[in-house]
Amino acid sequence: MPRRDSTESSIPEIAKLLDIRKQGGSGIVLVLGARAGAFYRLSSTFQEMIMGFSERSLQGLSRSAAFDECYRVLNEHSFSERDLDSIFQAALRDVTVTDADLCLADLVKEEYFSEIITTNIDDLLEQAFNQAGVREGQHYEVFIPGRSYEQRLQHPERRLCRVIKVFGDLVARVYDARRQRSYLDRQARLKEHLQQVLESDILVIGLDPVWDAELIDLIPLDGGQSSTWFVDEDAPPAESRLARVFNARQALYLTGWDGHYDNFLKALFWHLKSSMPTNIRNFFDILSELRKINSEYKISQRERRETQEMLQTTLMQLSSLQQQTEQCFQLVTSELSMLREQLGSLQRLLLRED
């Protein structure tokens, strides 16, 4: 299977492609698979919840293989919609936006992508947009199958980055997490649009052969003159539909450490912008300020300790002086008493002589 070595040398090539497409005013299509989503990055928590309903074991399986096994359990078990919603909500309770999510949000704001097709039902992308100041209606618009505004899919009102949540949205409670093979067949307009868009230049990150099988089936084998980039930790299985698609399209591969969602997007952003996203820079500015305050506080504490030590020394000196003064006062008092007695004796003698 043709592939590039999993080295950082190919990331500059992708960055160059994005710059060229942006300058030409076209952008490219970004495809985010299940391995770029919240469930995969929370794989251990998610696996424990799902595999509690199975007698099979995940022991000895790779991270991606265990993730795919969870998909099979979801489809084999008769979960109700309420059960699924409870499982997904609980699994995503502690998930947070990463630096890579913020890098992606900034790239969207800079108009590097004309469209984002995601198979994830979580709202991490929208959270990252919000934190990065990327506003819906100003920078992007979201399409969810089954929603009324899907009718604008073919003819968007303005030139915004279109975010298509292929399998729905958990927050909106409109989704199909089990993704039965007939799902996209019921979404004729969406299916037609996806097939058309996926003929163009696409950058694919974290596409999973099992979780994302329905979308993979829509990627045309003939990409014409378009470019196709495949980014993931692992190369697709040799006999999989995903491998056949990218072989036919002569896709360029980036796998291994550089192919990890977080590593790739942060490195890509650096090559494009030679800096960190604004939100991350702000974070480090705040961190630097906190460190400065902490340092000043430590200095203040040290000065306070020194002042307390000086005060204690002064108090000890005053206490000693007080003791000395009291002792002197007692001595003077005793002397005065003796003098008074002597004076009294002299006065009595004088009176007798008179």
DSSP 77: S
The CA-based angle 201-27-4, given to 5 degrees, is 45
Q: pLDDT band at residue 184, thresholds of 50, 70 and 90?
A: confident
Same domain, 283 and 263: no
In whole angstroms, give the CA distance from residue 224 to residue 196. 12
Counting beta carbons within 10 angstroms of the beta carbon of residue 197, is it exposed (0 to 12), middle (13 to 18) or buried (19 or more)? middle
Total domains in the chain come to 2
In whole angstroms, give the CA distance from residue 258 to residue 7. 7
Picking from 275, 300, 334, the residue at the C-terminal end of a domain is 275
Same domain, 152 and 284: no
Residue 147 located in a structural domain: yes
pLDDT digits (tens, 9 = 90+) for 92-102: 887 889 999 99
Residue 29 located in a structural domain: yes
pLDDT digits (tens, 9 = 90+) for 261-305: 999 999 999 888 875 555 555 554 555 566 666 666 666 677 777
Same domain, 283 and 150: no
Residue 76 located in a structural domain: no
Closest CA to 17 of 191, 248, 240, 251: 251
Residue 264 located in a structural domain: yes
Same domain, 114 and 188: yes
Same domain, 189 and 333: no
pLDDT digits (tens, 9 = 90+) for 193-235: 899 999 988 999 999 998 999 999 999 887 677 888 999 998 8
Residue 49 located in a structural domain: no
Q: pLDDT band at residue 67, thresholds of 50, 70 and 90?
A: confident
Question: Does the pTM of the predicted model rise above 0.85?
Answer: no
Same domain, 174 and 307: no
CA gyration radius for the chain? 37
In DSSP notation, 111-169 reads T-EEEEEE---SSHHHHHHHHTT--BTTTEEEE-TTSGGGGGSSS-SS--EEEEETTEE
Same domain, 197 and 238: yes
Residue 83 located in a structural domain: no
Picking from 275, 297, 326, the residue at the C-terminal end of a domain is 275
Residue 86 located in a structural domain: no
Query: Rounded to 5 degrees, what are φ and ψ at 156?
Result: -65, 150
Domain of 320 in residue numbering reads as 277-354
Same domain, 158 and 218: yes
Is pLDDT at 166 greater than 70 in this prediction? yes
Lowest mean pLDDT among 13-27, 142-156, 316-330: 142-156
Residue 139 located in a structural domain: yes
Q: pLDDT band at residue 47, thresholds of 50, 70 and 90?
A: confident
Residue indicated by tokens 């509690």: 52
Picking from 217, 247, 275, the residue at the C-terminal end of a domain is 275
pLDDT digits (tens, 9 = 90+) for 3-41: 443 333 478 888 888 888 888 877 789 999 999 999 888
